[in-house]
Structure 1
Amino acid sequence: MNLVVVGTSWITDMFISAALETRLIRFLGTCSRSTDKAEAMNLKYGGEKTYLNIEEVCMDADVDIVYIASPNSLHYPQTKKALLAGKHVITEKPIVSNMREMDDLIETSKTSKGLLFEAITTLHMPGLEIIRQHLSMLGTISIISTEFNTFSNKLPEYRSKKDPNELSLKFSGSTLVDLGIYNVYFVMLLFGIPTNVHYFANKGFSGVDLSGALIMQYPDKIAVAVVAKDNHGDNRTLIQGENGYIKVAGYVNTLKSIEIVVDKERFEFYVPNYPNHMRHECEAMFSCIARNDRQTMFEWLDLSKSVTEILQTARKDAGIVFAADSKND
């Protein structure tokens, strides 16, 4: 299967590396507005073709899989074009800006020859199943707290009143959507869809959230997700129950260090992650494509839809509006 990537950022670099490690695909080329950047990526990983836009990618019969990692607001239109062209599409999180776009992509995927996936590591990390298997040890769980803090190198540019893509409402930039999506997936995969959602955001001059706290309420528990691009923090996750707790050290999108403390006994788990943690999702999605497993695809899209709805509700609660929210198809 031939893979083409759209975008040349660091996450695209990591994805190509992980994809090649699976030995399930062949890297064909790069699509970018910058020919120099596309050619540099091709040179690094052995790509042969350079494309200037998604239309050129869609017209190439040699392309089987398209990985889209452009600015957030471009995910939906580029994904839809590739699906309509019959390509398999892997779109970097967030797959869309809002529910209108999500519903349309799901409908489009029903008639497309290609399969559609949201690239999200949390869903495919081995540590998730380890945590799920040991939740019952905690007894009644009442509190989940999870943090994702990473200081943005675009913050100085933003504070000089410029509008970098990742912090631009025009491009569906948002700390909650970019980082908090991992926390939401983690909580939802373990505990289901919350009954209420509230987001308290620290906003910049443009109204974008630079950091914030997302509250997800359940009938018998509360989950709190702290996300930040404007400060440094101790990234960790705690699941607290009446008998003890589960602690995940580090980012919630890798789940590589898990500690369980129950009745004062401590258990530590080795998590068999690949060095490039994106390889787990690559193997899962490429295998799904090879099997033409549309049932699994739609199950994963249902998860993407639920997460998109939570994020949209949270943004609305905090008054964070993307330019894409007012667009028509």
Structure 2
Amino acid sequence: MIRIATIGSNFITEQFLDALKHANMFEIAGIYSRSTEKAQALAAKHNARFVFNTLDKLASCSEIDAVYIASPNSLHFEQAVQMLKAGKHVICEKPLAADFGQAKEMFRVAEENNVVLFEAFLTEFLPNFNVVQNSLENIGRITQANLSFCQYSSRYKKYLEGENPNTFNPTFANGSIMDIGYYCVATAVALFGEPSSIKASANLLGSGVDSNGQVLFVYPNFSLAITHSKVSNSFVNSEIQGEKAAIQIKSISQMEQVLLCKKGESDIDLTEVQHNNTMYYEAIAFAKCVQSGEMDSGKVARSLSVAKILTEIRHQTHVVFPSDN
């Protein structure tokens, strides 16, 4: 069993802890939070043996093999590097880092210390992601694609009322493209690799982060359009179009449904049943990397490509984080 501790005490951490139990390859051994009360409550709920009130204590604990990081984006780099240098395997929530330079350094430190660094991009590990990937050959030459994730943030009202929630605060390396837009970018890279060129636009809030935007990826033989927003909802499926057919995807992050669509024919539902907790699959993949002691070179390359692209998109849209300086 892999003895794992968590950094963070939000709903994502709760979901991941539940996934760990279903994976049956982990012992939930420790909980860290800036709030000792939250850490104690979470530890009691999940029968964790250790509660940490400092990261130094977590890093030095010999009874922890791995750490899951679900802190604000701006803290990923510092916290991951500390744990990696302490010999802990790390699974870090997406986006891996605030910028490309940080992501490169994180993987360098992981390799130097012979430990695994794993970006928690759940979509790529879903059964229905494999369905999409394997179905591309059935639609003929790809002509264009549209990936969309637009979801009105529950914290936007607070922002409009004058508060400064993390999700709209550049200090925390956040904003639309770094949050839900990430899923569109990472899915595109996972399916098609890096584009040959990128053109991005965005609407910025007074805080300095993007509230919504569009990105155009140009590949040698087709283009892919991304639409993302944290201030509006969309009810349009993502779609990959080919000369023979199209693939429609409901919920680009969760891939809830996959349809093969042909003109004049009934849609074919290709959807596979997935675990209720979709983080289950990334937990299994992480465990296998830890057990083998090796990082998946393809997944590392994808993480680095996505970090580079997100950094370029921010530069084009003039979203600046503290790490850029």
Q: Same fold per TM (> 0.5)?
A: yes
Alignment partners' CA distance in 2, 1:178 and 1:108: 25
Contact 1:149 1:235 in 2 (8 A): no
Match of 2:258 in 1: 258
The answer on 1:170 being equivalent to 2:167 is no
Aligned residues: 323
Contact 1:6 1:66 in 2 (8 A): yes
Which residue type is aligned with residue 259 of structure 2?
E
Match of 1:50 in 2: 51
Q: How does 1:113-124 map to 2 (within 5 A)?
A: 113-124=114-125
Deviation at 1:55, TM superposition (A): 1.3
Give the CA RMSD over aligned residues: 1.3
Match of 1:72 in 2: 73
Contact 1:137 1:262 in 2 (8 A): no
Alignment partners' CA distance in 1, 2:157 and 2:284: 37
Alignment partners' CA distance in 1, 2:300 and 2:134: 24
Deviation at 1:263, TM superposition (A): 4.4
Secondary structure of the equivalent of 2:180? helix
Deviation at 1:270, TM superposition (A): 2.9
Alignment partners' CA distance in 2, 1:220 and 1:313: 22
Secondary structure of the equivalent of 1:270? coil
Please, what TM-score do these two structures have when normalized by structure 1?
A: 0.95
* Unaligned segments of structure 2, at least 5 residues: none
Deviation at 1:236, TM superposition (A): 2.0
Which consecutive segments of 4 or more residues in structure 1 shift more than 4 A?
none
Match of 1:202 in 2: 203
Contact 2:116 2:290 in 1 (8 A): yes
Match of 1:104 in 2: 105
Q: How does 1:1-329 map to 2 (within 5 A)?
A: 1-234=2-235, 236-249=237-250, 251-265=251-265, 266-294=267-295, 296=296, 298-326=297-325
Deviation at 1:48, TM superposition (A): 2.2
Contact 2:131 2:271 in 1 (8 A): no
Alignment partners' CA distance in 2, 1:197 and 1:44: 46
Alignment partners' CA distance in 1, 2:72 and 2:80: 12
* Unaligned segments of structure 1, at least 5 residues: none
Secondary structure of the equivalent of 2:164? coil
Alignment partners' CA distance in 1, 2:129 and 2:81: 30
- CA offsets per residue over residues 42-91 of structure 1, 9 Å max, x none? 12211121112221110111111100000100000000000000000010
Alignment partners' CA distance in 1, 2:18 and 2:218: 38
Deviation at 1:208, TM superposition (A): 0.7
Alignment partners' CA distance in 2, 1:239 and 1:160: 39
